[in-house]
């Protein structure tokens, strides 16, 4: 089967790659482009470890075909930080909102997508928004507190 040529923008950089017609965006990111921050937890869209933002929408990269990225803007965990850690990343560290780290990239990408749409979410909104992300180690309270703290910092930078 011939491979499909795709041109897309990933983390602000134009990227071209070849992929199989049935290859997921997750596999393309990890295997073709070396962006291994996006994790595979379940390959069925149930855990959120592979969360990325495509054209402003939060999606599970395991459920999207790589070929569907044609002409789209994709943001992965590698695109979250600039010169310094993003406030979400810093707050995850400060609140010890991570342990094994498999779920962390997906939580951070999902939380960033939330804060871009709603910069002042209440706890219920945060919990609802992150309901598609599963954590087996840390528990959710530390993650929720980290997102709340990051929202405050982003709203009122020092």
Locate 137 and state its tokens.
């180690």
Query: How high is the pLDDT of residue 156?
Result: 86
What is the model's pTM? 0.95
Q: Long-range CB contacts (< 8 A, 24+ apart) of 45-48?
A: 46/134, 47/103, 47/106, 47/133, 47/134, 48/103, 48/106, 48/107, 48/110, 48/130, 48/132, 48/133, 48/134
pLDDT, tens digit, 9 for 90 and up, residues 61-82: 999 999 999 999 999 999 999 9
CB contact set of 16 (below 8 Å; sequence gap of 6+) = 5, 6, 7
Greater confidence, 158 or 128?
A: 128
Q: Are residues 55 and 92 in the same domain?
A: no
* Co-location of 65 and 95 in the same domain: no
Boundary-marking domain end, from 53, 79, 105: 79
Same-domain status, 106 and 135: yes
Which of 52, 79, 106 is at the close of a domain? 79
The CATH number given to whatever domain includes residue 13 is: 3.10.20.30
Query: What residues make up the domain containing 114?
Result: 87-155
Q: For residue 114, give both structure tokens.
A: 């939330």
Same domain, 13 and 49: yes
Q: Are residues 12 and 75 in the same domain?
A: yes
Structural domains in the chain (count): 2
pLDDT score recorded for residue 126: 98
More confident residue, 158 or 138: 138
Inter-residue long-range contacts of 52-60, CB under 8 Å, 24+ positions, other chains counted: 52/25, 52/76, 52/109, 53/109, 53/112, 53/113, 54/25, 56/116, 57/113, 58/109, 58/110, 58/113, 59/25, 60/26, 60/132
- The larger pLDDT score, comparing residue 31 to residue 1, is at 31
pLDDT, position 109 = 98
The reply to whether 12 and 73 lie within a common domain is: yes
Do 96 and 143 share a domain, yes or no?
yes
Q: So what's the pLDDT on residue 148?
A: 98
- Is residue 29 domain-shared with residue 62, that is, in the same domain? yes
Average pLDDT value over all residues in the chain: 96
């Amino acid at each position: 089967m011939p491979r499909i040529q795709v041109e897309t923008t990933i983390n602000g950089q134009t990227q071209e790659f070849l992929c199989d017609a049935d290859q997921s965006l997750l596999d393309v990111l990890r295997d073709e482009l070396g962006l291994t921050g996006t994790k595979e937890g379940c390959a069925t869209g149930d855990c959120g470890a592979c969360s990325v933002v495509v054209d402003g929408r939060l999606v599970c990269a395991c459920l999207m075909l790589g070929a569907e990225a044609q002409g789209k803007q994709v943001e992965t965990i590698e695109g979250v930080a600039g010169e310094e850690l993003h406030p979400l990343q810093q707050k995850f560290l400060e609140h010890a909102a991570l342990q094994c780290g498999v779920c962390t990239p997906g939580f951070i990408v999902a939380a960033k997508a939330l804060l871009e749409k709603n910069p002042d979410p209440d706890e219920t909104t945060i919990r609802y928004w992150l309901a598609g992300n599963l954590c087996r180690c840390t528990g959710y309270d530390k993650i929720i507190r980290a997102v709340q703290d990051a929202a405050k910092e982003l709203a009122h930078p020092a």
